[in-house]
């Protein structure tokens, strides 16, 4: 019965702050905190650092490896260990500080075929002053949108559809509705896309054929 009473269950044990080092290293850290003199704490702490280093030999060549070990020692001591560290003691507030929320890029599920960069291009065009350059950029974006639309739906699309989408994506700041200038016709855009795909395919086949020919001339031993 006494043996059963002495059994320690994980649910009753102290929480491991850095589980990678195991429970024995955590007990050593707690032992260092219990020493009364700073001289004793310094001596035990250096021994703990040596043990921690032996547990991670693959990190010996990593810059600031010792600095990392001392930081981890303070973390495992819950920042209550009073010793002379060769490095600045990390601040608990800094480590527990939550990172700033990242801003995710805007998504337009209805118009995924335009790609995620189209919104950035539109925002740049909106920021430019009115003039010939802005007008040229606006129509370049519209033609690019038309090409993307045709890649998604290889049929045809009226310019008014593209102009309406551009108006919506720019929050009404770019309005080409009723424009007399037409975009590049669908047939030309489809030909450009098909030609590009054919060129890429031909270059790959030529590269494979060249490799096959070169391998035929080699002697096999």
Q: Are 151 and 114 in contact (CB under 8 A)?
A: no
Coil, helix or strand at residue 164? helix
**Confidence label for 56 from pLDDT (cuts 50, 70 and 90):** confident
213 or 29, higher pLDDT = 29
To 5 degrees, how large is the angle CA 5–CA 7–CA 11?
115
Percent of the chain topping pLDDT 90: 39
90 or 104, higher pLDDT = 90
Q: In the prediction, which pLDDT does 4 show?
A: 55
The rounded distance, in Å, linking the Cα atoms of 69 and 66 is: 5
What separation in angstroms does the CA of 2 have from each of 6, 8, 9, 11? 6, 12, 15, 20
71 or 56, higher pLDDT = 71
pLDDT in tens, 84-102: 999 998 888 888 888 888 7
Q: In the prediction, which pLDDT does 79 show?
A: 92
pTM greater than 0.75 (yes/no): no
pLDDT in tens, 23-45: 899 999 999 999 999 999 999 99
147, pLDDT greater than 80: yes
Q: In the prediction, which pLDDT does 154 show?
A: 72
Take residue 151 and report the two structure tokens written for it. Answer: 């890649």
The rounded distance, in Å, linking the Cα atoms of 146 and 17 is: 56
DSSP string, 35-49: -SSHHHHHHHHHHHH
Lowest mean pLDDT among 11-15, 62-66, 156-160: 11-15
Q: Are 23 and 16 in contact (CB under 8 A)?
A: yes
Lowest mean pLDDT among 10-24, 44-58, 207-221: 207-221
**Confidence label for 139 from pLDDT (cuts 50, 70 and 90):** very high
Q: Are 70 and 13 in contact (CB under 8 A)?
A: no
Q: In the prediction, which pLDDT does 35 show?
A: 93
220, pLDDT greater than 50: no
């Amino acid at each position: 019965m006494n043996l059963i009473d002495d059994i320690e269950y994980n649910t009753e044990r102290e929480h491991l702050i850095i589980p990678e080092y195991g429970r024995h290293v955590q007990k050593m850290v707690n032992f260092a905190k219990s020493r009364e003199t700073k001289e004793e704490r310094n001596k035990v702490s250096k021994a703990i650092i040596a043990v921690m280093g032996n547990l991670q030999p693959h990190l010996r060549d990593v810059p600031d490896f010792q600095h990392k070990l001392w930081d981890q020692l303070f973390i495992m001591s819950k920042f209550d260990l009073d010793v002379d560290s060769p490095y600045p003691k990390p601040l608990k507030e800094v480590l527990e500080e939550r990172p700033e929320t990242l801003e995710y890029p805007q998504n337009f599920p209805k118009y995924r075929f335009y790609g995620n960069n189209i919104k950035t291009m539109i925002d740049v065009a909106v920021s430019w002053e009115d003039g010939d350059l802005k007008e040229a950029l606006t129509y370049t974006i519209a033609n690019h949108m038309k090409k993307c639309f045709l890649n998604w739906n290889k049929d045809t699309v009226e310019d008014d559809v593209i102009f309406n989408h551009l108006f919506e994506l720019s929050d009404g700041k770019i309005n080409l509705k009723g424009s007399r200038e037409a975009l590049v016709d669908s047939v030309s855009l489809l030909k450009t896309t098909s030609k590009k795909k054919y060129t890429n395919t031909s270059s790959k086949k030529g590269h494979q054929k060249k490799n096959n020919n070169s391998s035929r001339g080699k002697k096999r031993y």
